[in-house]
Structure 1
Amino acid sequence: MIARYQTPEMAALWSPEHRFRVWAEVERLALEAWEGLGAVPAGVAERLARALPAGDFEPEFSERVAAIEAETHHDVVAFVRALAERSGDAAVRRYLHYGLTSSDVVDTAQNRLLAEALDLVLAELEDLLAALADLAVRYKHTPAVGRTHGVHAEPTAFGLRFLSFYAAAQRDRERLRRAREAVATAVVSGSVGNYAHTPPEVEAHVAGRLGLVPE
């Protein structure tokens, strides 16, 4: 989005630092699931968690990922290497990205970000609906010239026009809610997406912790 049209909240949501934070959370939750299945030693996910910032990553982390990507020509490989470096933990280095393929991380995180973005839009829409309802009531007895084919027609109420906008916005809200429900999926199914190396239990665990549903 062009910067001048962004809200601060939406700009922060789609920043590389926040995106990498969500990628890291997918990695952490996958390790947590593998621990529960006995494939990864207990405590590895917690060790990774200790290496993560409380909020978004700092710009220096994004710069490190970019530097590694310039060598590897692969965004997720660069991210995993930078995250392993940051942890400084041998167990995390060994098991990070265990059983995952790149799209497991990228697609699941992207869907989480899209759901967050729609939450921001829906919150703003509630304010718009409230404003339109107020205007519709305030001006319900205010006469306005009706128009048809570009000329004056029967008089109408100015508030009725706001009421029409309100009704349309209500329909838009339902469409946005359905869009959020449709996009809020986790895709953690391993190489080629057939669960051969990553059982559905891992996907279910990651999805549940991120507020998503398994694909």
Structure 2
Amino acid sequence: MASHLIDSLLYMDSYGTPVMREIFDDRSMIQNWLDTEAALAESQAEMGIIPQEIAREIARKAKVDNLNLENIRKGIVKTGHSLVPTLREFESRCEGGAGEFIHLGATTQDIIDTGYILASKRAFDVIYQDLWEIEEYLLALAEEHKNTVMAGRTHGQQALPITFGYKAAIWASEVHRHMQRMKEARKRIFAGQLSGAVGTLAGFGDRAIELQERVLGKLGLEIPEISWHASRDRLVEMVGLVAMVAGTFGKIGNEIYSLQKTEVAELAEPFTMGQVGSSTMPHKRNPGLSEGMHTLSKVVKANALLAYEALLQEHERDGAYWKTEHIAIPEAFILTGAILQKAKKALNGLVVNKQKMIDNLDILKGLLLSEPVMLMLGEKMGKQTAHEVVYEISMKTFEEGASFKEELLKDPRVGKHFTEREIAEMLDPFRYTGQSPFLAERVVRNIRAWRLAEKRQG
């Protein structure tokens, strides 16, 4: 039975996705190692270093289905080594003495690093495609609700009116920047590793550079200008990017969670009959998707900190720090995959309660519009003096639970400058959303143009 939530029969779908688990499971990782070994043998045969028939046999047998994983597990226990048991099992399956030519000139970290790069490249693509889909949901929300007025909040308190489309456009813009970062970082991050024991390629002979280029070319990976055994910045950047994605959706999840609170009720996750919020309170409709996004983002952030530890390498290689990545990388990707699945469900079916947003605009009985009153009054008496006047009236309104409009009308410092109609206009939240609609439209227009160009480029 599984002992981690990612692989738990009961909870795996809440903490991961089938595709992400498959990318990082034992079979896939071993296959990545075998693919690397096969590419090495094929390249060496092309260069006349080993016989062609030997390379063909190695490539034929380089399939995880040919290996006994239980033998490998026992071998790891016995040897304490992370790769040698796999090589021995692989060697035993190769005929005609081909096993003697496996792993020629390479070191363990060459194979394992390249395996993680191959896996991470696939996982990176999955995340990017998920973001592509989610971005469209956010653009649709921004476009549909560019004029849907709601209370903007700072420090958890109502501040000024905004539109929900403006809020959704901010989310879309942030997601879009993550996608741009991911595209820009690919060539830098996804470099293979094939440089021998201390990174000098000494074990590959005089044509080592050509061999490295052939092998990594076959695997579809970038060629590093120098060994990165002891330079883990690529993987730190990669996990950092994944953590940024998770963090954004942790924030979005927390925002939906907050705006779904009973007393606010401006947003709601999609609900289907059969969902259960409580074992003892039948009425509950809990925001489980948003809650999960927020929760898992914290763990991914911790994985980013763990990945950072691998930067602290000693000399030319150091397993004490390097192997922290074996935890950080799979967890970060798998948990982020789960976050994005939750985000798809939450955002694609998000319920926007326009009437409740309107109702909540008047919770403070007009105080939401203290800024325009202050600015207009400032034109009459100076901004700082106006701030003091409106502050006094606002605090009185707060303490007495009065109407801001009535208090303004009663105060001669305000009444002598403005009519009741002018004050009412200043307190109209639909007249004070600033550039919210335009900003939402601009984000939608710019991102849609970019997406169209991306599609045309294939």
State TM-score, norm by structure 2.
Answer: 0.44
Distance change in 2, residues 1:140/1:79 (3 Å): same
Q: How does 1:1-215 map to 2 (within 5 A)?
A: 2-3=5-6, 4=12, 5-53=15-63, 57-58=64-65, 61-87=68-94, 89-198=95-204, 199-215=208-224
Deviation string 1:86-108 (CA, Å, 9 cap, x unpaired) is: 23x13321101111111111111
Deviation of the 1:65 alpha carbon:
0.9
SS at structure 1 position matched to 2:202: coil
Deviation of the 1:173 alpha carbon:
1.2
8 Å Cα contact 2:152/2:162 also seen in 1:
yes
Aligned residues: 211
For 1:64, the aligned partner's letter is: N
Structure with larger RCO (C-alpha < 8 A, sep 6+):
1
State TM-score, norm by structure 1.
Answer: 0.91
Report which of the two has the higher share of strand.
1
Structure 2 gap segments, 5+ residues each: 7-11, 225-458
After superposing the two structures, state which structure 1 stretch, 142-151 or 3-12, moved more.
142-151
8 Å Cα contact 1:99/1:190 also seen in 2:
yes
8 Å Cα contact 1:65/1:82 also seen in 2:
yes
Distance change in 2, residues 1:122/1:153 (3 Å): same
SS at structure 2 position matched to 1:197: helix
Structure 1 gap segments, 5+ residues each: none
8 Å Cα contact 2:42/2:55 also seen in 1:
yes
State how far apart, in whole Å, the 2-side matches of 1:11 and 1:106 are.
18
State how far apart, in whole Å, the 1-side matches of 2:66 and 2:110 are.
24
For 1:213, the aligned partner's letter is: E
State how far apart, in whole Å, the 2-side matches of 1:48 and 1:73 are.
25
For 1:68, the aligned partner's letter is: G
For 1:73, the aligned partner's letter is: G
Q: State the partner residue of 2:298.
A: none
8 Å Cα contact 2:67/2:93 also seen in 1:
no
Deviation string 1:25-79 (CA, Å, 9 cap, x unpaired) is: 00000001111221100122221222233xxx34973222111222222121111
State how far apart, in whole Å, the 2-side matches of 1:170 and 1:155 are.
25
8 Å Cα contact 1:44/1:92 also seen in 2:
yes
State how far apart, in whole Å, the 1-side matches of 2:67 and 2:61 are.
15
State how far apart, in whole Å, the 2-side matches of 1:119 and 1:61 are.
30
After superposing the two structures, state which structure 1 stretch, 103-112 or 125-134, moved more.
103-112
8 Å Cα contact 1:17/1:59 also seen in 2:
no
- Aligned identity (percent) is 27
8 Å Cα contact 1:69/1:78 also seen in 2:
yes
SS at structure 1 position matched to 2:159: strand
Root-mean-square deviation (Å): 1.8
SS at structure 2 position matched to 1:191: coil
For 2:18, the aligned partner's letter is: P
8 Å Cα contact 2:38/2:62 also seen in 1:
no
Asked which structure has the greater CA Rg, the reply is 2
